[in-house]
Structure 1
Amino acid sequence: MSEISQYLLLNQHKIEILQKGETGTPIIILTGMGCSFDEWHDISESLSKSNRVVMFHRPGLGNSEIRNEVRNTQAVVNEISEMISLLKLTEPVILVGHSYGGLCAQHFVKAHPEKVAGIVLVDSTSVDVKVLDELDLPMLNEDSTDDIWMEKCHLYSLMKKEELTEIINPTLTKKQEQLPFDIQQRLIDFQVNPNLYKAMSSEISNWKKDAEIIKRLGQFPDIPLIVIGRDKEHSIRMGIEDGFPEWELRLFEEKWQELIVNQATLTQNSKLIVVQEASHSIHVDRPDIIIESITEIVRKIKC
């Protein structure tokens, strides 16, 4: 197994990418909004023993450059397409998308169906995400509407790293504290990069418009698909511990689960997995499920 950290020039931006493995089926992992590819360290290590794994930080994330361009799913589609060409990935890839990365994956597979052999959606943002705005959730929405997040991200983007460190007080999960020290430090640094919040502000401002565009792109190709969703009851319990009312949490989680279940109808060759005791960060809570699912897709496309 080999690991290559490098930069590619994608659409005139210096983009940080990480490749692991030299042979086998190419797997491209698309991270969630505000998430580092280093969160996928153990998963990529395991998969790269027999596959070629590619991860990248979108502009503004990690060490990837960002200017004043619009950040939306179409921009990500363009970056993936150019990256595939520059890396000379000649066979169709497996796309793995978590959260917002799953929305980007759905856009890419509709725009370039010939370039994708299979797809894994990990608690992915739905193209029907706007229905969540129609729920009456006074406490949950008090500090978490798109407008509030955009304002907060814009403010953070103007700060220095030292200021962000004081405000955010970046931490790691217990599982992340078991990662190699250099990965732990990268995860900490990732959270206090002002450019991260510049990118997030733009992504948040566009993601619901993007979802509507993706819906209008036509049929989802009939390729192997595994949809992985979080544990509704576990998420409700976590929310109650944070002080939110159970009725709001249940309303939100039931609708979120409905959207996840609907994603499993995108193809005739799909499978739905609901992961017990897992939060939205399923790749952190249960990396074994992610590894098994991607490996299953690899087997399917080789049959």
Structure 2
Amino acid sequence: MNRMLKATAVAALCCTVAGTGYMGVAQAAGHDGGADGSTARATHAGHGDRGDSFVGEKKISVEGRSVNVSCAGRQSDRKPVVVLVAGLGDGLDAMADLQRTLSEKNRVCSYDRLGEGGSDKPEGPQSMADTGRVLTGVINRVSGDSPVVLAGHSLGGLIAARYAPDHRDKVKGLVLMDATSSTTTADVTRVIPESATGDSGDLRAQSIAVMQGQNPENLVVPDGKVRSAGWIPTQVLRHGQQYLAQFPTYGPQLEADWTKGQYAWAAVSHRSTIRVAENSGHYIYVDRKDIAVKSIQRVAAEVTQRNGGWWGHEGR
């Protein structure tokens, strides 16, 4: 089959895995007490603290590990800090253009997870709890007392959606851009039989390998249920080009399951909306940057409007 089609199909199921020569599927975490391994809320500085106001890239220390962070834009009262969470195999540079555009109205930060970009390599296998603790360290450093909007792509969207329910005091909005489905691993192994050969067999095998930690982050990512983060404004964006359906034999069912998974993410909030990014592939923030920008700005604006009496509370 066409190599580009194969690469695109696998990328849609997760994202590029740098340095492995192929792409793979990453998957949601099980409910292990939260995306950072505990139900504790993210701690932050005292009242009036806006966090670290640096602009550009900076290395920060999180639990003794060096994490590369980039921030742009100025923070103002009541406005949330937008934190971008890239997909597996992507460093913060992948979202640099999106960050620059968003920084015209909000302070926007991105970061390299351990094993990506300029951050330290993980010392061994990582769990979703581990990657959640790194995210907590970044949020605490860049946001201070300000609320946060998480905008994640692919596996980054899954990480954001798994993290938000246990950090409702800080995460006040979500934008999920073609987020990895919470049942992708089960879907792929159910749709593509173990007996499959050729490109389909490769896709199945690669997916299993990546979900077991054979990726730049050594991140093990098992399936899990979608949990609610309450009433935070949430925008779910899914790709509009149904190229998964072109994958031989199993494509239509993979596309159907992917779409179903995107709608399932709506359960992460009672205040969620779903939008199809027409004419977009998996990288919505590249193919339809306008839609990604408007969605993030819309969620950030709603958080700003509700900040006075709603921030810090779980209510409507």
- Normalised by the shorter chain, which TM-score bucket? 0.7 to 0.9
The aligned residue for residue 233 of structure 2 is 224
> Structure 1 CA distance, aligned partners of 2:91 and 2:269?
29
Deviation at 1:235, TM superposition (A): 4.3
> Structure 1 CA distance, aligned partners of 2:66 and 2:129?
18
The aligned residue for residue 71 of structure 2 is 19
> Structure 2 CA distance, aligned partners of 1:50 and 1:147?
41
Q: How does 1:32-51 map onto structure 2 within 5 Å?
A: 32-51=87-106
Deviation at 1:90, TM superposition (A): 1.0
Query: Which of 89, 92, 107 is the equivalent residue of 1:52?
Result: 107
The aligned residue for residue 277 of structure 1 is 279
State the secondary structure of the residue aligned to 2:169: helix
Deviation at 1:57, TM superposition (A): 0.3
> Structure 1 CA distance, aligned partners of 2:304 and 2:228?
24
Query: Which of 187, 192, 196 is the equivalent residue of 1:136?
Result: 192
Structure 1 residues 142 and 64, CA, compared in 2 at 3 Å: closer, same or farther?
A: same
> Structure 2 CA distance, aligned partners of 1:105 and 1:15?
17
Deviation at 1:288, TM superposition (A): 0.9
Which has the higher relative contact order, 1 or 2, with Cα contacts under 8 A spaced 6 or more apart? 2
Contact 1:234 1:277 in 2 (8 A): no
Deviation at 1:228, TM superposition (A): 0.3
Deviations 1:137-166 (A, max 9, x none): 635542123344479x85xxxxxxxxxxxx
The aligned residue for residue 258 of structure 2 is 256
Structure 2: 5+ residue stretches without partners:
1-52, 306-316
Structure 1 residues 67 and 275, CA, compared in 2 at 3 Å: closer, same or farther?
A: closer
Q: How does 1:141-152 map onto structure 2 within 5 Å?
A: 141-144=200-203, 145=205, 146-149=207-210
Deviations 1:244-300 (A, max 9, x none): 41x421110111001101212332211111111211111111111110000110121
> Percent identical across equivalent pairs?
23
The aligned residue for residue 301 of structure 1 is 303
> Structure 2 CA distance, aligned partners of 1:108 and 1:149?
21
Out of 272-281 and 131-140, give the one that drifted further.
131-140
Out of 255-264 and 71-80, give the one that drifted further.
71-80
Letter of the structure 1 residue corresponding to residue 108 of structure 2? V
State the secondary structure of the residue aligned to 1:284: helix
Structure 1 residues 23 and 253, CA, compared in 2 at 3 Å: closer, same or farther?
A: same
Letter of the structure 2 residue corresponding to residue 134 of structure 1? R
State the secondary structure of the residue aligned to 1:9: strand
Contact 1:120 1:228 in 2 (8 A): yes
Structure 1 residues 2 and 11, CA, compared in 2 at 3 Å: closer, same or farther?
A: closer
> Structure 2 CA distance, aligned partners of 1:232 and 1:256?
12
TM-score by length of 1: 0.74
Letter of the structure 1 residue corresponding to residue 185 of structure 2? K
State the secondary structure of the residue aligned to 1:134: helix
* Alignment partner of 1:70 is 2:106: no
Structure 1 residues 85 and 266, CA, compared in 2 at 3 Å: closer, same or farther?
A: closer
Aligned Cα root-mean-square deviation (Å): 2.3
TM-score by length of 2: 0.71
